[in-house]
Amino acid sequence: MLYSEKVMDHFSNPRNVGVIENADGIGEVGNAKCGDIMKIYLKIEGDRIQDVKFNTFGCGSAIASSSMATELIKGKKLSEAQELTNKAVAEALDGLPPHKIHCSVLAEEAIQAAISDYYQKQKK
Ligand code: FES
């Protein structure tokens, strides 16, 4: 089979879909080649990610990657979330086909972008 059961599960039943109003950090990234876009919203309390939601306009693997990535960082410390790699996301999904690895990269980048947005806003 091309996709793991976990990928299929997170694709057909994605966790944490949506928008957080007044989010503390927002990250939006896209992949120019496939045109897919991913947006991550963070609610931060102290040094913890209290809530996280995503909106992904993209392929099934991108949706599954966003879903898994948000599950992996929910309730975690910011410092832990910063260490999340696309490899960890792909592994948690029991793997992605080689030509779909960039979809998990999008998830890593979107989370990093949302965290830097949060730090930027803190500085102001
Ligand atoms: Fe581009 Fe999946 S094909 S994010």
Question: Is 103 marked active-site?
Answer: yes
What pLDDT shows up at residue 1? 64
106 lines ligand 1 (CB under 6 A): yes
What pLDDT shows up at residue 48? 98
| Mean pLDDT for back-to-back runs of 10 residues, the chain (124 residues) | 93 98 98 96 97 97 98 98 98 96 97 98 89
- Write phi, then psi, for 44 (nearest 5 degrees): -110, 135
What pLDDT shows up at residue 2? 87
- Which tokens sit at 102? 């960039």
Q: Which of 34, 37, 57 gets mutated to test ligand 1 (max ligand atoms within 8 A of its CB)?
A: 34
Give the type of residue at 28.
E
Question: Is 34 marked active-site?
Answer: yes
Q: State how far the Cα of 11 lies from the Cα of 14, in Å rounded to an integer.
A: 6
What pLDDT shows up at residue 124? 79
Separation of CA 46 and ligand 1 centre (Å):
33
